[in-house]
Structure 1
Amino acid sequence: MVADVRVAWEARNFIGRQIYRIGIIAPRFKDREFRSLFARIARFVIESGQSSIVDAARVIWNLSFLVAYVQSERAEKNTIAIMDQGLLQGFLSILLKSRHRATSEKWLDILFAIGVHDIAFVHLRGELGVARDRLQKRGDRSSRMQRASPDRDFDLWLTADRACREIAADLEGGMGTEDHAGVLAAVVVERFASPEDVAERVLDAVLLACLKRHRLCDSVGQ
């Protein structure tokens, strides 16, 4: 029985979001596991070669908050948290501006260290044009995809598409193992699909993926 279903970090302004994040992250530094994950994330980001120090600090801060949030939510009972901008998007932001692919830390190893056993990832698949059009219709410019200069816009979207495909392929291969059993649901988003249609497909896909995982776990346990 699910006692509480809520969307992670409701709408706040920039200052409010940072204050909220500090409140989540600060207590986690008492935890040895979080400190280890924070160090691994920082090492991965620094070695990946971000475009600037500001970019490096931003993605370290953002991903560390997501890790702290997940760990905090795990301490709660009977809770489902829906993260629109989740862990995979945090890693995508790093890979998007990465100049060095060879790093001592692998993003998938960090993700598995965070733990995926209680997480359902949703991969929305669609044409680049669909994603680009929908992002441009948003009322803010919080995404670096929106802030790209016109001469780099197309290249950036191609890079994002390639990174997204790599993440999905790595995740699909890694989560199939017994040690890292998790849920990965894929949903195809058509150009004229309404948000309600997409939400319904996501729910169906997640339920089906969870059912398959439980069947797999049951067969392994027998």
Structure 2
Amino acid sequence: MAGVDLDPAAPKKPGAMAGGEPRSIGGDALPAGIRFIEFFGLPGIGKTTASRLLADRLRSAGAIVDEKRTTWEDKALVARQFNRLNLVLPRLRHSDFRSIASRIARFVAEGGQEAPVDLLRWTWCLWSVAAYMADERSKGDKVTVLDQGLLQGFWSVLLKSRHRGTSEHWLDIMAAIGLDDIVFVELRGGIDLARNRIRSRDDRASRLQRQAPTGEGALWTKAERAYCTIAADLWRRQNAAHSMPMLAVVDMSASASPEEVADKTLQAVLLTYERRQRSIEPGSH
């Protein structure tokens, strides 16, 4: 795991790296082996702002970058579902995607959701993200920055799960979807920081903003537990060189500006990719 804190004395960013022809990013190089940069963390921690600023920085430096919110929460319900249908239905013609879709549905069902609507919602959400990523991989070599994607989808499943036993691990499903070209960026921060930030917003986009005050504390505790479970599972997978997720960590603080977070995110992404390349080089073990 490559971690970066928001400290001006942190190491300087590395230059060009292995993994194909680099995409020029100012004085750095974004390796061609990076296809997706996906953020995850507690609600309100700053994923959307960080993803937007990172995409802007990469784009202004000459990279071909697409910034997406795969949940399409800014669109009306009908438009949101129409977008998802356009992604999922064509993919269901492929047997490999049907297999992934079946595994996702089984995992969500076996874990036990608090309500039937949760089973449908999070299965459909994960199908949509998986279909979106497959569709993007079939196109050019642009980098896609996601404010939330696979990890946040599984976080939502764990948040509403009754924690029953499942026949397979969620990370095995993600490995089938494909991990080699994704850098996951964990914006690491505690409940107090995330809650203060989310309370300062007035968009009510998060379910934690819509929660009744009497149940807010319990929901935040569950949110943190699900987040910590995902982070711990990712950490344990770091030892499997060829299939390990690329995980970059940015420690958040209340005083850090969004621009600082974006800068440190790029540094962490480059460091974690370099670590992956070293781990799979012959004779590195």
Residue 254 of structure 2 corresponds to 191
Distance change >3 Å, CA 191–CA 36, structure 1 → 2: same
Letter in 1 for 2:222: T
Kept in 1: contact 2:113–2:161 (CA 8 A): yes
The structure with higher relative contact order (CA 8 Å, sep 6+) is: 2
State the distance in 2 between where 1:36 and 1:142 align. 32
Letter in 2 for 1:4: I
TM-score for the superposition, normalised by structure 2: 0.73
Asked if 1:46 is matched to 2:109, the reply is yes
Distance change >3 Å, CA 179–CA 211, structure 1 → 2: closer
Structure 1 residues without counterparts, runs of 5 or longer: none
Residue 75 of structure 2 corresponds to 13
Residue 209 of structure 1 corresponds to 272
Asked if 1:70 is matched to 2:130, the reply is no
Larger % of helix: which? 1
Counterpart of 2:263 (choices 200, 208, 212) is: 200
Kept in 1: contact 2:237–2:245 (CA 8 A): no
Residue 95 of structure 1 corresponds to 158
Residue 58 of structure 1 corresponds to 121
State the distance in 2 between where 1:91 and 1:220 align. 35
Counterpart of 2:167 (choices 104, 110, 119) is: 104
Alignment coverage as a number of residue pairs: 222
Kept in 1: contact 2:69–2:148 (CA 8 A): no
State the distance in 2 between where 1:177 and 1:82 align. 25
Q: CA RMSD in A?
A: 1.9
Shift >6 Å, 4+ stretches = none
Distance change >3 Å, CA 138–CA 176, structure 1 → 2: farther
Q: Deviations over 1:114-157 (max 9, x none)?
A: 11111000111112111112223334333222222211111111
Asked if 1:169 is matched to 2:232, the reply is yes
Q: Report the CA distance between 1:211 and its aligned residue.
A: 1.3
Q: Report the CA distance between 1:221 and its aligned residue.
A: 7.5
TM-score for the superposition, normalised by structure 1: 0.92
Letter in 2 for 1:115: G
Kept in 2: contact 1:176–1:182 (CA 8 A): no
State the distance in 1 between where 2:243 and 2:164 align. 24
Kept in 2: contact 1:43–1:105 (CA 8 A): no
Structure 2 residues without counterparts, runs of 5 or longer: 1-21, 24-62
Kept in 1: contact 2:242–2:280 (CA 8 A): no
Asked if 1:131 is matched to 2:198, the reply is no
Letter in 1 for 2:180: H
